[in-house]
Structure 1
Amino acid sequence: MKPRHVFWWAVMTVVLMAGSAGITWEYANHRSDAIPESLLASPQFRQFVDTYELIRHDSIWHNTPKQLLTGATNGMVATLHDQFTNYLNPSQTQALEGLLAPTYVGVGIQLSVGHPLMIQAVFPDTPAFHAGLAAGERIDAIDGHSVNGMNPLAAVNLIHGKPGTAVTLTVSQAGRTKTVRLIRQVIAYPTVFAQMLPGHVGYLAITEFGNQTGAEAVTEFHWLMAQGARGILLDLRNNPGGEVTQALAVANLFVPRGPVVTLKYKNPAQDKTYDSTGPGTHLPVVVAVNGNTASAAEILAAAIQERQGGWLVGTRTYGKGIVQEIIPLGNGASLKLTVAKYLTPNGSYIEHVGLKPNVVVPEPGSVVPSDILGQDPQLMKAYDILRQRMGQS
């Protein structure tokens, strides 16, 4: 089993859905570095310059040119009344890039936070993977120190460290014990998780669209096919979006050759339809969605619903039908700017509307979406519907 894992979801929601789409489309360099003569001659521009000079010369409060110009930039952005358009200073730009490519230093294992300390998953192409560690093994000692009675989070911290340093793990399973020496390295957090459910149902969960999600999805999708999947349950609940280019890469696995999304720009000459290169899948597909399925996740869900014939099960999605670009401004700063609307393959514009599920299944307020059928009624309903569709295909 390859269990779903949820990392820092609340942070990602704020940054990717409510604060940013994190989209990196190609950017046409149509800006001019010269200030237009009409602007230089306007009374408003003169007022701006006068205001700047008066504050610098006469204000009793400390100020710097950088502070005032940053404030002016933020003020321009605020006049758009667009929650998705933001000026990002260098540290904010770096933080956004980090969220789209999240990493940590370790050996590549996911641990249960409890007693005993168990390996729940081993990430591909990591030190733990190459050393032959596997899900279900128990960690007994770290660098020779027993973890019995140790706070699980403290144990995790002992495994983490600096890149290039070594850590020794003693693990056991079914009465067999082994000790492995691993060299810590920078590990990318996975965003795609797969497991086989009973009845030949392949479960694929995508937590967000980071810069490696497409490649991860290809690997996990083909793993499910090799395990004999006859239907796919794609879980996009609580997926706040991310890089649309990665959603397009995933769409190739599900959607037949043809349109996935159309972008409508201010200049109609820039409008473009992005296509799936295929091959897609002929297997029955059910997509689990909820009110926190947004942005790039909605693009993928809509394409599967409208072009592959997949069913959406859950609640209406967030409804984010606009696209942002992250545009460098120099010195590490950037502008996250809404530059286009997007339309689904059928031409629908879903801003503030969202996608309507084929089957509405409310989420119990006390249940956190998971990959465990017995603990997640919404997922169980999606599973049952997929099994029915598999029986009809």
Structure 2
Amino acid sequence: MKDYKFLKGFLLGVLLAAVVGLGGYLGVANYISAKEAGQEETAPDSAKAKKKIQLLETLIDETYLEDADEDALTESMYAGLIDGLGDPYSRYYTEEEYKSLTEETEGSYQGIGIVMQQNPDTGVITIVRCYEGAPGAEAGVLPGDILYKVDGEEVTGTELAEVAKKIRSEDTESAQLTLARDGENDYIEVDVKKAQVEIPVVSHEMLENQVGYIAVYEFTAVTVQQYNDAYEDLMAQGMKKLVIDLRGNPGGLLTAVCDIFNNIAPEKLIVYTEDKNGEKEEYLSGKGTNIEVPLAVLVNGNSASAAEIFAGAVQDYGIGTLVGTTTFGKGIVQKVTPLTDGSAVKLTISKYYTPGGRNIHGTGITPDVEVELDEALKQKVTVSKEEDNQLQKALEVLGE
């Protein structure tokens, strides 16, 4: 059997020290533990771990029915070490996965500028959003379209990440999409040229009675500039009140939250963290001006992490009114450490606390005004502002 490329880079010692704990469920009769040798059972040392790895390699080589993928085994080994922490927020990223993560946080990527959603029961993939000005929208792709094929291959039931990877592949300059559209009898074929797409993570519009509306979908490296542009545009139009919509916002960069607060509540503590050693770190907004108009913030059960930091600071300082449902409840912070081979590891490193000292992990933030989204609206791909009862409640609150 070929020698697997296990244990490379600086992970070698750590992986050897922990691998038995990861694979201990395998009942390997030839493996003799310290306890069986008449000694007290202790954490395995590197020699024992290496011996067990060699034994597993031999078993795979001699008895496993199929050919083993050495690279897949290696990557699974690294991922398994982090999985052994039992923390859903800590994970190992392959080089390709880390590249994708970096693109997301930087706010731009090579692709066509669409957002897809997959039905877990049927496997059907629906286009739920097309970025304005991006190749998908320019080619005529519409929200609500069902994605049937990509480059001639049916994708229904294919894992969503694989479909996205296929669309964004650098092997071709364009992606051929076969779409099913409500009201059309035949499939629609669309060729979409790929390009560098800046993800529009902020959208805005002026509602009736000079109420500004800003939706923030995620906190990335481009969020601050997009938010500031939206705010300035609304102020130039004579905005008298503001709704910030954080529903469905999964979080993102803590620095983006602090920078946005420069012109909401300048030079204030936005959040502080505490690590395993009790070391605290404070994050403050910079110099700016206080928000000039009454504020309501929309939240729901999918508002998480950095979105909750934003909402928590608004609530603790009484800057605005939170409207909606209790937030997700992610009160911990992760750090991503790049490795020399292009991969990376994300680990939970601290808890965070709102300015008032609340850690909301597992409990979330209860809004000031609680209102559930109407049940009928939860099944819709797009909801108009007029029928959005949570938004209408926020407008009602601002009108009081």
TM-score (norm 1): 0.67
Alignment of 1:45-194 (within 5 A): 45-59=46-60, 60=62, 61=64, 62-63=67-68, 66-100=71-105, 101-103=107-109, 157-158=190-191, 160-162=192-194, 186-194=196-204
Alignment of 1:185-224 (within 5 A): 186-224=196-234
What is the root-mean-square deviation of aligned Cα atoms in Å?
Answer: 3.5
Q: Measured at CA, do residues 162 and 374 of structure 1 come closer, stay the same or move farther in structure 2, by a change above 3 Å?
A: closer
Match of 1:230 in 2: 240
1:318 pairs with one of 313, 318, 328: 328
1:199-229 C-alpha deviation (Å, 9 max, x unpaired): 1111111111122111100111111111111
Equivalent residues of 1:318, 1:354 under 8 A apart: yes
1:52-84 C-alpha deviation (Å, 9 max, x unpaired): 122234542355765554333223212211101
Unaligned runs of 5+ in 1: 1-31, 111-119, 129-148, 164-185, 389-393
2:360 pairs with one of 347, 350, 370: 350
Question: Identical aligned pairs, as a percentage?
Answer: 32
2:264 pairs with one of 232, 245, 254: 254
Distance 1:96 1:152 in 2: 37
Helix, strand or coil: the match of 1:255?
coil
Of the structure 1 ranges 90-99 and 306-315, higher mean CA displacement relative to structure 2 is found in 90-99
Equivalent residues of 1:325, 1:336 under 8 A apart: yes
Distance 1:123 1:200 in 2: 26
Alignment of 1:265-344 (within 5 A): 265-269=275-279, 271-277=280-286, 278-344=288-354
Q: Measured at CA, do residues 239 and 338 of structure 1 come closer, stay the same or move farther in structure 2, by a change above 3 Å?
A: same
Match of 1:382 in 2: 394
Unaligned runs of 5+ in 2: 1-9, 19-41, 116-129, 138-182
Equivalent residues of 1:192, 1:207 under 8 A apart: yes
Equivalent residues of 1:123, 1:190 under 8 A apart: no
Once the two structures are TM-superposed, the CA of residue 345 in structure 1 deviates from its matched residue by 0.5
Aligned residues: 301
AA matched with 1:334:
A
AA matched with 1:47:
K
Equivalent residues of 2:131, 2:200 under 8 A apart: no
Q: Measured at CA, do residues 217 and 308 of structure 1 come closer, stay the same or move farther in structure 2, by a change above 3 Å?
A: farther
Distance 1:52 1:230 in 2: 66
1:181-203 C-alpha deviation (Å, 9 max, x unpaired): xxxxx231211011111111111
Q: Measured at CA, do residues 213 and 318 of structure 1 come closer, stay the same or move farther in structure 2, by a change above 3 Å?
A: same
